[in-house]
Amino acid sequence: MKCNKNYSIILIVLALCNFAVLSAQNTSVYVSAHPDDWQLFMNPNANKNIKEPNDKVVFLHITSGDGGNVLGNNNYYLAREEGSLRALRFLSNINTSGNRLGTNMSGTIVNINGHQILKYAYKNIVAYFLRLPDGNYYGEGWPLSNNVSLKKLYEGSISSISAIDGSTTYVSLNDLQTTIQSIIELEASPSGTITFNLADTDIAINPDDHSDHLNSSLISNDVAGSIGGVIRIYT
């Protein structure tokens, strides 16, 4: 009788362990320098991850992709953001059943590490728009945004960078990286895996890429190292 009880306890423990493994929520993070980068360069991976309704898919849009049109010319970057949101809804709705919310995504301003950031949620997807200035192709920046860029921030030639909509300022590279890390830690399950999808920074594989692509990846790659145990996929 005692052996049977012990055997039953072992079976229950194994079943609970298996359930925990099966129910663990994995998190896939797509680091998109501009709002249309993940669609162009990170499929079909994004589509495959969105198909998994029990997992979380996080899209980080680092810059606004404004192309230097900052003051009084907002329709350009807003159109790029809407393009990303429509693509997310499209992939979600063709892959999963349920309510098709169309344009009625849930947009909110959230406070992350003391910064106001625009966030949208849709089924198993969350999308953040940091709206940092487009840094121009080689990282020289644009006159209307005081020639700042992610490249200059990462290399240390500028000490701070502000969102183009005036919502917040990151006072250092570490401030930006800590904020990105806080977003991931907020969204990710502690029991699941975290995967970062990043632009490849190896110039032999990915030569002459846009400075925002490369530096968004470099910044986020450092974040992945700080979190630890993060799987990295380079595209």
Residue 161 has pLDDT above 80, yes or no: yes
**23 pLDDT exceeds 60?**
no
Q: Is residue 18 in a domain?
A: no
pLDDT at position 99, please?
56
Mean pLDDT (the chain, rounded): 89
User: Tens digits of per-residue pLDDT, 131-142?
Assistant: 999 999 999 999
CATH code at 33? 3.40.50
Residue 114 lies in a domain: yes
What is the average per-residue pLDDT within 105-127? 94
* Token duo for residue 103: 């344009």
**10 Å Cβ neighbour count for 76?**
15
Identify which of 57, 63, 170, 196 has the alpha carbon closest to the alpha carbon of residue 120: 57
Count of the separate structural domains present in the chain: 1
Model confidence at 30, in pLDDT bands (50, 70, 90)?
A: very high
152 in any annotated domain: yes
In a domain, 55, yes or no: yes
In a domain, 1, yes or no: no
- Contact assessment for residue 67 and residue 141, using Cβ atoms and an 8 Å cutoff: no
| pLDDT mean over 121-126 | 94
Q: How many CB atoms lie within 10 A of CB 141?
A: 22
Amino acid occupying residue 125: I
Who wins on pLDDT, 59 or 123? 59
List, for residues 209-224, the tens digit of each pLDDT value: 999 999 999 999 999 9
Which pLDDT value is given to residue 47?
Answer: 96
3-state DSSP helix/strand/coil percent for the chain, to nearest 5? 40, 20, 40
Query: By residue range, what is the domain housing residue 44?
Result: 26-234
pLDDT band at residue 105 under the 50/70/90 scheme: confident
More confident: 54 or 57: 57
Q: Which pLDDT does position 209 carry in this prediction?
A: 97
* Helix (H) or strand (E) segment spanning residue 178: helix 173-187
